[in-house]
Amino acid sequence: SSGYFTFDPGFMATGSCESSITFIDGAKGVLLHRGYSIEDLARDADYIEVCYMLLHNKTPTSEEYADFKNTITRHTLVHDQLTNFFRGFRRDAHPMAMLCGTVGALSSFYHDDLDISDPEQRLRSAYRLVAKMPTLVAMCYKYNVGQPFVYPRNDLSYAENFLNMMFSVPAEDYEISPAVARAMDRIFTLHADHEQNASTSTVRLAGSSGANPYACIAAGVASLWGPAHGGANEACLNMLEEIGSVDRIPEFIARAKDKNDPFRLMGFGHRVYKNHDPRATVMRESCHEVLEEMNIDDPLLNVAMELEKIALNDPYFAEKKLFPNVDFYSGIILKAIGIPTNMFTCIFALARTVGWISHWHEMLSQPGQKIGRPRQLYTGETLRKYTPIKK
């Protein structure tokens, strides 16, 4: 009715859309962000550079990079009243429940970037969200473990700042290992965007109604939470704990093959990749790098490596095109860094925020934007007479 959003039955009839952000060729295992291969980006770019490129459709010059990094750094603080929101949660609240609530609540603090028809305000809210997600995610963890919130610092990189907010305590600083910070930054990059996955489509659909950016990202967080999607890395580590030892792997492989058993190998398979998940290839390198660097000898991680080896050599998985996906290795790295499994999906949401908000910004930049309305195939009753019941 505002004339800005009118109903068009044709639009998003199949839930499809046009986008120039990410290209995936599932059969060939190709993933490009704005034309750049994920392999190149994960190896040679840092996450801040990837954020700039996703939002602006080009890699930054060194001046643009420095300016963007400074802008993000200076938006990392959240309004101090947000700490009151956490006080309302139980201490054992799932971090995704707290993240969902507090991200949506951000819209009550920033009234200067809610005019979604203004590209400048859209970008300002995008920068705020990219900057504040690490702070909110770390606050969820600190609240769970009963430690005081740690404020962001302007002298640290994006990944270092997150690790410091997660693990430093007033009694002693957290010593940031460059290898861990590099692995964390790479995990952010490898989860930054992934075309029209369930949570990104959720953000786009919410945004098509004119909802504010913070509400749209809260919707994306909610959608990502599911174990078939972003909850897979947490589910993967829980599965490894259930397997417990290398000698029990065959039992679970048999269950994964049993059609009458709902069990699925968490961290394996993908809706689109029917060859290999290119992110998993890079993530696997990081995984082994971190395990060596940290000299980790965790029985759970040994189970993971053995499961990977067995599954990759099993003809059933090859026939079903079930390869380890990005969540399989990211879960292992996060556990090696000391992050509890219930935080894994929050970290996925942190990293994916830039992808979500880039799609949101792109959609609202497209002329003639209309509210989304995926169609349905009606399978219900035809018209029938209603007989009121005697009350």
Check binding of 276 to ligand SDX (CB under 6 A). Answer: no
Q: Out of 73, 202, 212, 325, name the contact with ligand SDX by CB under 6 A.
A: 325
Q: Catalytic site residue 270? A: yes
Identity of the residue, 298 or 314, whose beta carbon is nearer to ligand SDX in the bound complex: 314
Q: Out of 218, 249, 256, 339, name the contact with ligand SDX by CB under 6 A.
A: 256
Check binding of 265 to ligand SDX (CB under 6 A). Answer: yes
Tell me how far, at minimum, the Cβ of 175 lies from ligand SDX, in Å: 31
22 beta partners: 33
Task: Judge whether 370 and 161 are in contact, CB under 8 Å.
Answer: no
DSSP assignment of 10-28 equals TTTTTS----SSEEEETTT
Tracing tokens 């060939």 back to the chain, one arrives at 28
Q: Helix count (H) and strand count (E) of the chain?
A: 17, 3
Exactly one of 270, 277, 359, 361 is catalytic; name it.
270
Identity of the residue, 102 or 223, whose beta carbon is nearer to ligand SDX in the bound complex: 223
Of 304, 162, 327, nearest in space to 233 by CA: 327
Which of the residues 130 through 189 are near ligand SDX (CB under 6 A)? none
Check binding of 264 to ligand SDX (CB under 6 A). Answer: yes
Q: Please state, as a whole number, how many other Cβ atoms lie within 10 Å of the Cβ of residue 319.
A: 8
**Distance in angstroms (rounded) separating the CA atoms of residues 34 and 220:** 21
Identity of the residue, 45 or 78, whose beta carbon is nearer to ligand SDX in the bound complex: 45
**Distance in angstroms (rounded) separating the CA atoms of residues 342 and 94:** 7
**Distance in angstroms (rounded) separating the CA atoms of residues 215 and 171:** 37
Identity of the residue, 28 or 90, whose beta carbon is nearer to ligand SDX in the bound complex: 28
Task: Judge whether 45 and 189 are in contact, CB under 8 Å.
Answer: yes
Check binding of 69 to ligand SDX (CB under 6 A). Answer: no
Q: Out of 197, 202, 212, 353, name the contact with ligand SDX by CB under 6 A.
A: 197
Exactly one of 194, 327, 359, 361 is catalytic; name it.
327
Q: Catalytic site residue 113? A: no
Q: Out of 66, 145, 228, 318, name the contact with ligand SDX by CB under 6 A.
A: 228
Identity of the residue, 266 or 283, whose beta carbon is nearer to ligand SDX in the bound complex: 266
Q: Out of 225, 268, 356, 360, name the contact with ligand SDX by CB under 6 A.
A: 268
Tell me how far, at minimum, the Cβ of 267 lies from ligand SDX, in Å: 5
b/e sequence 278-317, b meaning 16+ C-beta within 10 Å: bbbbbbbbbbeebbebbeeeeebbebbeebbeebeeeeeb
Three-state DSSP state, 30:
strand
Tell me how far, at minimum, the Cβ of 283 lies from ligand SDX, in Å: 12
Question: What token pair was written down for 266?
Answer: 């968490």
Identity of the residue, 15 or 119, whose beta carbon is nearer to ligand SDX in the bound complex: 15
Of 169, 166, 159, nearest in space to 130 by CA: 159
Q: Out of 33, 194, 204, 335, name the contact with ligand SDX by CB under 6 A.
A: 194
Check binding of 373 to ligand SDX (CB under 6 A). Answer: no
Which residue numbers are catalytic? Answer: 270, 327
- Residues binding ligand SDX (CB under 6 A): 194, 197, 228-229, 232, 256, 264-272, 320, 322, 325, 327
